[in-house]
Each structure stands twice: as structure tokens, then as C-alpha cells.
Amino acid sequence: MTDTRATHDDWAATAHTLSQALPYFQRYAGATVVIKLGGHAMGSDEAMRSFARDIVLMRHVGVNPVIVHGGGPMINAMLKAQGVESTFVGGKRVTDAATIEIVEMVLSGLVGKRIVQAIQAEGGQAVGISGKDARLMVCEQTDPALGFVGTPVECNPGFLTALQSTRTIPVIAPIGTGRAGETFNVNGDTAAGAIAASLRADRLLLLTDVSGVKGEDGEVISEITPEAIRALTEDGTISGGMIPKTQTALDAIDGGVRAVVILDGRVPHAALLELYTQGGAGTLIRGQR
Ligand SMILES: Nc1ncnc2c1ncn2[C@@H]1O[C@H](COP(=O)(O)OP(=O)(O)O)[C@@H](O)[C@H]1O
Ligand SMILES: CC(=O)N[C@@H](CCC(=O)OP(=O)(O)O)C(=O)O
């Protein structure tokens, strides 16, 4: 008897939570939300299942989710198996001709398809593409010293909105094409920012393995201004892999994205918490619109 009561109370709590989410469901119905899933945030099969389920739920309540993924640790493992060591400059991998082939194989072939399969296992429809497909991300070389690393200069948002009209969730690997048909390695955060700006997205969520941008005291900053980002980068508080993330946030906002959030993708249901509850965590960078 007591057990039945407890279960009933649990259900009542679940129903209450769902009911509380109504204003958020209404706010984000029809919104475009670009979610960047970093390699460090991907984790176990169970974490991937949970992420995929959340994305399918978002789709069902009217959000247009666009996934852009990373896969740095997976690329490192494959390069190591081939006896190749990578170096990073400002959070970007120095990419020679042999490395770009492995990067493309790992991102488009392995990581992207794993996410597609996970979404489809939860009942969604997803398609794995890279910035080469439909000229989604045309790039210029970022810096000759980085080799085949590209900066997106032109996107194809019309192709993504066409996918949205069939409720298909794009899963995008950060590989770009050059105007002369070269293949470029694009930092996952940079790619997500360019795509979010081209769509004038309502939200860009950068899911990583830290709880947000940390200040000098090591505490997460819940909301940060572009000026503070510049100051913390200059004094070295923001370093390594956090540089492309914060730079992406600034570029995305300049490009018309409403808001960017940098948050911990290892927290279960991180994206749902951010969109559908008051308990959204991480660091918010607000745009102008
Ligand atoms: N000020 C900072 N606040 C938080 N993380 C920082 C900061 N400066 C550097 N970092 C580093 O940035 C890392 C996130 O970047 P990265 O490893 O490239 O993530 P991902 O694989 O998710 O793209 C964190 O794990 C942390 O070590
Ligand atoms: C140019 C560049 O650095 N490209 C990245 C692309 C993958 C990525 O960004 O992965 P995470 O998001 O997991 O870090 C790389 O080669 O690692």
C-alpha cells in the first residue's frame, strides 16, 4: 500500500514537472536551436542514448534542433594508433594532408553516424552530413601555419531549413570544402557558430566537459559580456579549448544568434535543463536581439 502511494507521488511529481515546462515548450516552439556536442561531452553509450532521446523530445515539441559535433578525442585515438602526434595552436589542430584524411574519416564516418543511429533508435529521423554536402560550409584557409584548417565563409541555411520541413534532424561533421574543392578541418565550435549565425538561431548550446566559463577564482560565471570575454582571454584565464568556444560565442552573436550558452554536456539532460527549466546552468552570452 505504502509502495503504491510512493509511486503515485512520484507520478504526480513527474506530471507537475511536465506541467511546469509548458511556458518553455511554448517559448521554444518553432525555434531553431543549434547544439554543439563536443568530443569530451559524448561519453558512454548510455549518455549518448540520453542525449539522443532529449533531441527527439525537442523535435516533438516543435523545436528545430541542428546538431554539430566534434570528436577531438576520437581523432586523437585514431592518429595515435597510426603513430601520428598532433599539435594544437589556439585550440586548433595543425592539420597536414595525411591528418585531414583521418579527421574526415573519424568525424563523418564514425562519430556522426553514431549520433545519427542514437537519434533514430529513439524514434527520430536524422541525417549525417558534413560541411562538404550541399556546400553547407565553404571555407578559406585559416592560417597557412595550421595547414588544412578552414574558416567558414559561406553556409547554406536553405538546405537545413528544407530538412526541417521534413522534421529531419541534421547531424553535421565540422569538415568544410574550399572553393577549389579542398577539404578543410574546422574546429567544431567554429562550425557550430557559423551554422547558427547563418540560421539566425534562437539558441546555440555548446556542450562541453566543464560547467561553464570559469573566472580567475575558478568559479563558473553565469552570464558574461563580450568585454569580459576579451579581458579574460587577454590575461590567459580563458585558454586552450575554451578560446574557440568563447570566440564562437562572440562571432555567433555578431552574426545574429539570440543567445549562446556554454554548459556541461556530461550532466544528464543538460540541453533539456537549459531550455525547459529555470535550472539552466552554464555560462550565458546574450545577443542583441
Ligand atoms: N576559463 C576557462 N573556463 C573553463 N574551461 C577552460 C577555461 N580555460 C580553458 N579551459 C579548458 O577548456 C576545455 C574545454 O575545451 P575542449 O577540451 O576543446 O572541449 P570540447 O571537446 O568539448 O570542445 C576545458 O576542459 C578546460 O580545460
Ligand atoms: C581545426 C580543429 O581543431 N578541428 C577539430 C575538429 C573536431 C573538434 O572540434 O572536436 P571537439 O569539439 O571534440 O574538440 C580537431 O581536429 O580536433
**Predicted pLDDT at 289:** 67
> Which residues form the catalytic set?
36, 39, 72, 189, 245
Nearest of 215, 217, 242, 241 to residue 228 by alpha carbon: 215
pLDDT in tens, 181-190: 999 999 999 9
Report the mean per-residue pLDDT for the chain: 94
185 annotated binding-site participant = yes
Q: Domain tally for the chain? A: 1
Q: Which ligand is nearest to the CA of 244?
A: 1
The alpha carbon of 73 and the centre of ligand 1 are apart by a number of angstroms equal to: 13
How do strand 168-173 and strand 125-130 relate by DSSP bridges? parallel
> Which amino acid appears at position 64 of this protein?
N
pLDDT more than 90, % of the chain: 86
Per-residue pLDDT band at 4 (split at 50, 70, 90): low
Contact 48, 42 (CB under 8 A): yes
pLDDT in tens, 78-121: 999 999 889 999 889 999 999 999 999 999 999 999 999 999 99
Domain containing 274 equals 30-286
pLDDT in tens, 138-173: 999 999 999 999 999 999 999 999 999 999 999 999
**Residues 77, 81: Cα–Cα separation, whole Å:** 6
The verdict on residue 20 lying in a domain is: no
CATH code: domain of residue 170? 3.40.1160.10
The verdict on residue 13 lying in a domain is: no
The verdict on residue 14 lying in a domain is: no
**Predicted pLDDT at 241:** 86
**Predicted pLDDT at 1:** 45
> DSSP state, 223?
B
The alpha carbon of 40 and the centre of ligand 2 are apart by a number of angstroms equal to: 10
Q: Kindly provide the b/e burial profile for residues 155-179, where b requires at least 16 CB atoms within 10 angstroms of the residue's own CB.
A: bbbeebeebbeeeebbbbbbbbbbe
How many residues are present in the chain? 289
Q: Which helix (H) or strand (E) holds 24?
A: helix 22-28
pTM: 0.94
**Predicted pLDDT at 85:** 87
What is the residue with the minimal CA distance to atom 9 of ligand 2? 188
> DSSP state, 111?
I
In sequence order, the 6+-apart residues with CB closer than 8 A to the CB of 50 are 268, 269
76 annotated binding-site participant = no
- In DSSP terms, 263 is beta-bridged to 207
The verdict on residue 3 lying in a domain is: no
What is the residue with the minimal CA distance to atom 13 of ligand 1? 241
pLDDT in tens, 32-55: 999 999 999 898 999 999 999 999
